[in-house]
Amino acid sequence: MQIGELAARSGVAERLLRYYEERELLAPDRTSAGRRRYQESDVARVSTIRALLAAGLNTSNIAIMLPCVGNDAGQLVPQCPEMVTRLARQRTRLDESIAGLEHSRRLVDALLAQAGR
């Protein structure tokens, strides 16, 4: 399938699909005219990329982790020990970010309380 069809089927803009290719998350074949040719499996791959991005992972980590992600009835499943380690690190980063945001919220709440709100 060509890039337009993949974009339509995955709900991801063509520009973003090209970005995924730049980041080595997608590797379409090329026709003799240089046009991208995607496989049926790329629809699911784009879905996996989107899920990992939504989990807060960056494209560098996703590129490393993609070969280690399985799909069991729509549920992503880690298949390599290294992936579990990376996910644990991501979880720690998320916890730290949440703690920082909660601290910021308490500061804003204190300022609002002093302002009589």
- Give residue-wise pLDDT tens across range 23-45: 999 999 999 999 999 999 999 99
**Sole residue written with tokens 């601290």:** 103
CB 90: neighbour CB atoms within 10 A?
17
Share of the chain residues as helix, strand and coil, in percent rounded to the nearest 5: 65, 10, 25
Task: Tell me which fold the domain 3-114 belongs to.
Answer: Multidrug-efflux Transporter Regulator; Chain: A; Domain 2 (1.10.1660)
Any idea how long the chain is?
117
pLDDT recorded at residue 55: 87
Q: pLDDT tens digits for 67-104?
A: 998 888 778 888 888 888 888 988 999 999 999 999 99
Q: Which two tokens stand for residue 73?
A: 């009835």
Q: Say what the pTM is.
A: 0.80
Q: Where are the domains positioned within the chain?
A: 3-114
